[in-house]
């Protein structure tokens, strides 16, 4: 029934544009959602990540050093959750870029170097690669970092964005409750701990040092920029 189908589409768009998700109206929001989230790109990206995750799980039972496949699983989980959590809790900002796969040249190179270092050090039989206590610490730090990152995104909800907002929208508010009442910049802290945790998991001394320097430089600049924006958009709340 054409009328019933039309009614369903209208209801879907109405729900998608409710205040809990976005401030755009009707067809405008639906159009932007489709343009920024091409089904082919989202499907292919999800499928590739899923395949990598599945293959990595199978290698858990074949590799002498399971930290490498666990690292791959952690990467897949991180990128899938970035998109899924953004889509559910901040739908007006979700796009195919929300997977954060192409998160800058430094990001891609860092993870490639980490994989290479881990494989080479295992191949040449470095004894510290078999240090299970260090690997276990890295594993739990990675889990905690992922938890902190995802909870921060969920708590921020509509106010969360992968890009620093330059203009204040109607649904943009300063979040000070939940995890934000306990930690300053919990999403940054979560990513920082997750990234360093993966290198402890791999027992990668070189990459751990490299990740530390790169992340410190990146977040130092980003936090300064964020504070400037917060001062402009929420000065009365930030300094109250």
Span 196-214, pLDDT tens digits: 999 999 999 999 999 999 9
What are the C-alpha distances in Å from 168 to residues 16, 92, 134? 21, 14, 44
Query: Per residue in 135-146, pLDDT tens?
Result: 999 999 999 999
| Total Cβ atoms within 10 A of residue 210 | 18
Q: Between 224 and 49, name the one with better pLDDT.
A: 49
Which own/partner pairs from 170-174 qualify as long-range (CB within 8 Å, at least 24 positions apart)?
Answer: 170/23, 171/19, 171/22, 171/23, 171/92, 172/233, 174/230, 174/233, 174/234, 174/237, 174/238
pLDDT tier at 85 (50, 70, 90 boundaries)?
very high
* pLDDT the model gives residue 23: 45
What confidence tier does 32 reach under pLDDT thresholds 50, 70, 90? confident
Total Cβ atoms within 10 A of residue 20: 11
Whole-model pTM over 0.85: no
């Amino acid at each position: 029934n054409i009328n019933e189908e039309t009614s369903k589409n209208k209801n879907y768009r109405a729900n998608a544009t409710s205040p809990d998700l976005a401030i755009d109206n009707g067809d405008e929001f639906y159009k932007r959602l489709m343009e920024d989230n091409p089904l082919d790109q989202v499907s292919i990206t999800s499928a590739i990540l899923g395949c990598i995750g599945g293959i990595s799980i199978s290698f858990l039972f074949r590799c002498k050093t399971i930290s490498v496949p666990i690292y791959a699983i952690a990467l897949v989980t991180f990128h899938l959750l970035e998109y899924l959590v953004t889509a559910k809790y901040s739908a007006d900002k979700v796009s195919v870029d929300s997977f954060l796969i192409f998160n800058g040249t430094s990001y891609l190179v860092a993870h490639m170097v980490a994989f290479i270092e881990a494989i080479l050090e295992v191949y040449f039989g470095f004894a510290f690669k078999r240090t299970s206590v260090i690997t276990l610490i890295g594993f739990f730090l990675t889990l905690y970092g992922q938890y902190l990152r995802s909870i921060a995104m969920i708590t921020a909800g509509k106010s969360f964005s992968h890009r620093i907002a330059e203009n204040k929208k109607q649904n943009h508010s300063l979040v000070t409750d939940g995890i934000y009442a306990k930690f300053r910049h919990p999403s940054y802290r979560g990513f920082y701990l997750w990234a360093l945790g993966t290198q402890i998991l791999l027992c990668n001394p070189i990459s751990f040092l490299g990740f530390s320097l790169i992340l410190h430089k990146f977040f130092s600049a980003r936090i300064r920029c964020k504070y400037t924006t917060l001062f402009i958009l929420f000065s009365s709340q930030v300094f109250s």
